[in-house]
Amino acid sequence: MSNIQINKFDSREELFSAVANACRSQLEKVLKEKNKASFIIPGGTTPAPSFAQLAIADIDWKNITIGQSDERWVDADHEQSNQGLTQKTLLIDNAKSAKYVAMKNSAPDPFAGESQCNSDYAAIAPFSVTMLGMGLDGHIASLFPNSKTIDQALSLNNENTCIAIDAEGCKVAGDFPHRMSLTLSAIVKSELIILLVTGSEKLSVIEKAMITNDPKVLPVSGILNQQKTAVKIFWAE
């Protein structure tokens, strides 16, 4: 696990600034090398302060493509849409010139939409930087423990970038168990993984996942116990 770096901060203000700086640094590095970059981001409101800083940063946004780590199968104007949240928190100010690749498409359900999503996300892979959050159950993206397609989703032999998820029965999935998610194999092929977490309970989950190395129980262990890609963990209480 020599590719794991844990960064702890005394305040969330410092945390969010450090995350924004790490993302900016990686994006600028890749832009310099390739003249284009891709930036995968999670849903939820936790990273919003980092996005606010990135949105006003003087970065070559027009050559950056932004995508989601996962998405509920709802339209962009739905209050639970990650796309809708991204449009409000990141695709503003300077960053509004970035390209955006949606996960939710016109298919009636994620299983019908999986092929198109795979094609759309394969076009921007490998991802320059993938930012992830994590739940108390150890899930990353929409890779929930014991969900029906979890074995395929976690397989490093799965060459697809995206996978339809049926998390029916998983309490953490709430009222929207049908989702699209990046596969673990696509995530670990990223050039850099940033894991943003807050609170002592989540830190304990990470510490346990680093020891147990069982992605089916704690999916986050799939990124913490691989040697391919650097993982930078950013944490504050």
E-strand stretches of 62-172: 64-68, 70-72, 99-101, 129-132, 162-166
Q: Are 149 and 184 in contact (CB under 8 A)?
A: no
Q: Are 188 and 216 in contact (CB under 8 A)?
A: no
pLDDT tens digit sequence for 13-66: 999 999 999 999 999 999 999 999 999 999 999 999 999 999 999 999 999 999
**Class (C level, CATH) for 4-236:** alpha beta
Mean pLDDT of 155-159: 96
Burial grade of 175 (CB within 10 A; 0-12, 13-18, 19 or more): exposed
Would you call the peptide bond into 126 cis, given omega within 30 degrees of 0 as the criterion?
yes
pLDDT tens digit sequence for 169-203: 888 898 999 999 999 999 999 999 999 999 999 99
Q: Is pLDDT above 90 for 71?
A: yes
Domain definitions of the chain by residue range = 4-236
Greatest CA separation for the chain: 45
Of the candidates 15, 22, 23, 4, which has an alpha carbon nearest to the alpha carbon of residue 213?
4
Token digits of residue 188? 């670990």
Distance CA 187, CA 204 (A): 22
pLDDT attached to residue 2: 58
Distance of CA 96 to the CA centre of its chain: 20
pLDDT tens digit sequence for 208-226: 999 988 999 999 999 999 9
